[in-house]
Amino acid sequence: MTYKNLELGVWKLQRKKIGVVSLGCPKNLVDSEIMLGLLESENYEITNEENEAQILIVNTCGFIESAKQESVNTILELADYKKGKCELLIVTGCLAERYKDKIIEQIPEVDAVIGTGNYGEIARTIEAAFHGQKTLLYGKLEEVDYLKNKRIISTKNGYAYLKIAEGCDNCCTYCIIPSLRGRYRSRPMEDLVEEARFLAANKVREIILVAQDTTRYGMDLYKERKLVELIKRISEIEEIEWIRLLYCYPEEIDQNLLEEMSGNDKLCKYLDIPIQHVSDDILKRMGRRGTGNEIKSLINQLKEKIPEIVIRTSMIVGFPGETEENYKELFEFVRDFKIDRLGVFAYSREEDTKAAKFSSQIPKRSKEKRRKEIMNLQKEIHLEKNQNRLSKVFKTLVEGVAEDGIFYFGRTYGEAPDIDGVVYFTSKEPLNIGEFVHVKMITLDEYDLIGEVVDETKSSK
């Protein structure tokens, strides 16, 4: 769109307070942090108090039905603030890219909608909105330059995400992401290393690499996999102590990556592998490239080469055409392979995806029953895994103080933030948020590990 002859830069706003609510995945959080950085550079004041903000931005998720509903509910909640100090409400992100016209039409409190490729225009959009222009920006899905901008790091406890690519080239039949984020675009390695140094200078000690598929990094830009080289470059930054990988597609994990994970002390022995299913029939219907046997072989290889590895995965039950036999195969895989971390989702029928048109859609009740059965099984596995960690000592990142004021909480290499939980521990000496200590795991409180800080010479992990 155009800005209707608005002389941008001539009219300067007073120092307005801006609040941002970020929903969805860590990749979305990076986008929110980029917007915050851009707005701070334009002399806006950032606030965490929604009732104090004169401008509210909600960065939405639109991946599955539950995420869409959360996004809509949040927009409506923030719209109520326009009865108070809020002057503008801006909607950004995946839901904005997917339902731009409907948002403006059905929620009149919204002043502007910005899609996933237009974050770099957030300041201009806000200024235009203050001139009374309702703005829709979307469809810019070929660039990734906006990520070059400095960020405001919202994670204040020693870790931050580094988005190494945007978009996706995979053709999973259940997924809308390629339509919302565009083709896969790797960021130049020099840009990533520079950003990693920026994060390190801002007291980040754990860098978490994210993309729709991190293992594909470099294939478009350099015509070969470059993830291992990127890991090596970031490992050279002295202040960085942990590097963690999320979203590694199983068919793209190669021997170079396994060797690097085995031999690089800074690279967490943790791998997030979204396998979704192990039945060949369902994998084919999902548009996945691998087979069930290849997935099983990979997991066996990982455990053999890196015995201490922690594996996380996600699965979809109730996919169209999933028979009882297909489901039983998945259930038995979970039982036999004892994956450390597991998220199970009931298939969400999303419009504009190939799978939405498939026959043999599974009833909601059956999908939910299958999800609960596997999750109940996984609870037993998780408890067993935690019991095996008792009496062992782990290097732990201190993230905060529990509400009771007695325990600290943090994460070992085996927990990714937000999705895997935390461990609780005591310390005879006061600790700083963002520092590393060594914690001996002593007991369990249901599924949470509880320990105490010990001399680092006793560390076993």
104, 137, 170: which is the final residue of a domain? 137
Sequence-distant (≥ 6) Cβ neighbours of residue 264 within 8 angstroms: 231, 232, 235, 243
User: CA-CA distance, 426 to 402, in Å (whole number)?
Assistant: 10
DSSP-assigned beta bridge partners for residue 383: none
Distances (CA, A) of 336 to 280, 376, 378, 386, 414: 18, 15, 11, 17, 20
CATH number for the domain harbouring residue 446: 2.40.50.140
Render pLDDT for 252-287 as a digit per residue (tens, 0 to 9): 999 999 999 999 999 999 999 999 999 999 999 999
Domain that holds residue 440: 393-458
CATH number for the domain harbouring residue 228: 3.80.30.20
65, 68, 70, 76 alpha-carbon torsion, rounded to 10°: -140
Q: Is residue 132 part of a domain?
A: yes
113, 137, 161: which is the final residue of a domain? 137
| Phi and psi, residue 90, nearest 5° | -115, 135
Work out the average pLDDT over 339-362.
95
Render pLDDT for 182-235 as a digit per residue (tens, 0 to 9): 999 999 999 999 999 999 999 999 999 999 999 999 999 999 999 999 999 999
Q: Is the pLDDT of residue 114 over 50?
A: yes
Q: pLDDT at position 8, please?
A: 40
Residues 429 and 375 in one domain: no
Residues 158 and 246 in one domain: yes
Q: Is residue 427 part of a domain?
A: yes
Q: Are strands 185-186 and 165-166 parallel, antiparallel or unpaired?
A: antiparallel
Render pLDDT for 133-166 as a digit per residue (tens, 0 to 9): 888 898 888 878 888 888 999 998 899 999 999 9
pTM of the full structure: 0.93
